[in-house]
Amino acid sequence: MDAKQNPEQLASSEIESSFDIERIFEELKSVLKERGLTYKQLADRIGVTEGAVKKTLTAEDISLGRLSTVAEAAGVTVRELFRRLDRADEVRFQLSAAQELYFSQHPKTLRFFLLLLEASASVVMKEQKLAAEKCARYLDELEKLGLVVGEGLERRPKTQAKILKWNPNGPYAKTQNRKITQQLVDHLYAQDVSARLIRNRASGYMLPSTQEEFVARMQALSKEFMSRARKENSALPREQLKSVTWAFLMGDFDVWHAILDGEEL
């Protein structure tokens, strides 16, 4: 599909030639699974039988109008559905645990590698105003990690991918999560009250069961608004939207012990 072409503006007859119908149906099934929806529940939302839904999702073709009806009943727009397919098509390179660990400790090398995925070393060196010696050191580090091939400043990434993928529970993700969370907290506390941001810190003693309930409620609230954000992002022009991030922090921490265990007077 042409990147500039709006999927919702395609004629129904163009769906079969522009998209793999089977992949569209598989993506719809993934949406249903994510939202915990059964075929019966989807059928009830559309106003048809469960058998009709199953037949639709195994057909060899489908009109754009029908696809839109089924997708919206599942909780996504056609545009969002095709965006999901586009993201699935992106080639991603999975970092190893050793590579993740190294990048978590050497963020500048990671930045250099990300730039190298988009351009040659000579271009990166020129645009970033790097000395040849420094560029060579970055390439040496990447070669030790098994990420580049070639000789000298002509070394290039082994992968053709433009996007890196890492373990969400690995060392790099944990390091980045800590950094981003700290940056977010620092940013929020630096804002003026007129920014209408919640800046409330509290502590107290509670039962473990009470803490678990607290966490569950906050997670449910965050999930609710994340769902709304996804729908608005898929349905509205970006210029009408505002970039927002949030974090709920809770942990075992005794304020008084922290004060008493602090620096000596």
Taking residue 1's Cβ as centre, other Cβ atoms within 10 Å add up to 13
For residue 77, tell me if it sits in a domain: yes
For residue 1, tell me if it sits in a domain: no
How far does the chain reach from its first CA to its final CA, in angstroms?
A: 68
- Domain span at residue 157 reads 91-199
Predicted TM-score of the model (pTM):
0.50
Residues 105, 194, single domain; the answer is yes
For the CA atoms of 20, 21, 26, 28, the dihedral, rounded to the nearest 10 degrees, stands at 120
For residue 2, tell me if it sits in a domain: no
- Identify the domain boundary among 151, 181, 199: 199
Angle, helices 107-116 vs 97-105, to 10°: value is: 110
Domain count, the chain: 3
> ∠ at Cα 170 (168, 171), nearest 5°?
130
- Identify the domain boundary among 150, 172, 199: 199
Q: What is the pLDDT along the chain (265 residues), one digit of tens a residue?
A: 444 344 434 433 344 434 578 888 888 888 888 888 899 999 999 999 999 999 988 887 888 888 889 999 998 888 888 887 776 656 778 899 999 999 999 989 999 999 999 899 999 999 999 999 999 999 999 999 999 999 999 999 998 887 888 888 888 888 887 887 777 777 767 766 555 666 666 777 888 889 889 988 988 998 899 888 888 887 778 788 888 877 777 777 665 555 445 444 3
3-state secondary structure of 130: coil
